Amino acid sequence: MKLGIFTVLFGEKKLEEALDLIEKQGLDTVEIGVGGYPGKKHADAAALLADEQKLKAFQQAIENRGLEISAISCHGNPLHPKREVAQSFHQDFTNAVLLAEKLGVETVIGFSGCPGESETSQNPVWVTCAWPPEHMEVLEWQWKEKVIPYWQEMSAFMKEHGVRVAIEPHPGFVVYNNETALRLRREAGDNIGVNFDPSHLFWQQMDPSECIKELAKEGALYHVHAKDTYIDQRNTALNGVLDTKSYRDELHRSWIFRTVGYGQGHDEWRKIISTLQMVGYEGAISIEHEDSLMSIDEGFKKAVAFLKDILIRERVKELWWA
């Protein structure tokens, strides 16, 4: 396994400055955002596709620092009920696929998206329960009329360009857990897999290690994020885990995102890394920082040190048993 980072963490810095910081920490890979919610601060796929010199300079900036690209990311909602919004996210995704092909990068990361409840919707509708009965009618309509057709089309498009998509299960979108991720893969295409982010699973009371085993068995484990979640036991006991308060309201939320090791702790992350090793995952562990209690620099350095320690221990254990 290789240790890397999702570079949107350094979105306020120029690409070269960000890469220097990453190289200094001895990382192996970078995950580059090229559109969607992460934005285009380090790479605009359309601009790079239109200018060979810019594309070459972009590649050299990464390669000259001994780094490789683990994935191209464009997390968005191409199923948004507002046509112009959906089209913008869709264009970002198709440009990301074309850029990945040009760069020789196998994986593009994104969200599944979420439609509205009908053709007249103005905003996405995420169904979270089976009753009243109209909820299930909405869910069936979403998958049948929007989700499956779109991703079948994108699966065919990606096959033409030798690229696969790692959908990140995320509450608020139709793919938010193993079951929905594997349904999309089964019904839309076998080049659709998962970007595995434990932080979105912890608060749903899912077991990341068991999820890893199931995804690996299905050949759907494409890429991994390293981000943690702290669950406030009192707030959860009072209000449950479905929490719509601001992420900045840390004191009152049932859960918040944390730097790895500051949510579920060392033992849980050792278990996750060990499970990835057992299932034969050889890709990147890409650090994603969304910890509102730590600065960018503090969160970055602590995550690197924490994960390096675990990866080194796992490597020593592997060599010992070999």
Q: Looking at the chain, how many residues does it have?
A: 322
CB burial of 267-298 (b: ≥16 within 10 Å; e: otherwise) equals: ebbebbbbbbbeeebebbbbbbbbbeebeeee
Q: Which of 220, 118, 229, 230 is nearest to 177 (CA)?
A: 220
For residue 118, give the amino acid letter.
Answer: S
pLDDT in tens, the chain (322 residues): 999 999 999 999 999 999 999 999 999 999 999 999 988 989 999 999 999 999 999 999 999 999 999 999 999 999 999 999 999 999 999 999 999 999 999 999 999 999 999 999 999 999 999 999 999 999 999 999 999 999 999 999 999 999 999 999 999 999 999 999 999 999 999 999 999 999 999 999 999 999 999 999 999 999 999 999 999 999 999 999 999 999 999 999 999 999 999 999 999 999 999 999 999 999 999 999 999 999 999 999 999 999 999 998 766 455 445 4
Question: Which amino acid, 194?
Answer: V
For the chain, domains (ranges, CATH) are 2-230+257-321 (3.20.20.150)
Distances (CA, A) of 12 to 7, 198, 204: 10, 26, 32
How far is C-alpha 68 from the chain's CA centre? Answer: 18
Q: What is the DSSP letter of 227?
A: -
Task: Say which amino acid occupies 88.
Answer: S
pLDDT digits over 67-93, tens only? 999 999 999 999 999 999 999 999 999
Please check whether residue 93 is in contact with residue 45, taking contact to mean a CB–CB distance below 8 angstroms. Answer: no
Helix residue ranges per DSSP H, 73-220: 83-103, 134-141, 148-161, 178-188, 199-202, 208-217
Local structure of residue 145 (DSSP, 8 states): I
Beta strands in the chain (DSSP E): 2-6, 29-33, 68-73, 107-110, 164-167, 192-196, 221-226, 228-231, 255-258, 284-287
**Which amino acid belongs to residue 159?**
K
133 CB neighbour count, 10 Å cutoff: 8
pLDDT tens by residue, 230-278: 999 999 999 999 999 999 999 999 999 999 999 999 999 999 999 999 9
The DSSP bridge partners found for residue 167 are 110, 194
DSSP letter at 298 equals H
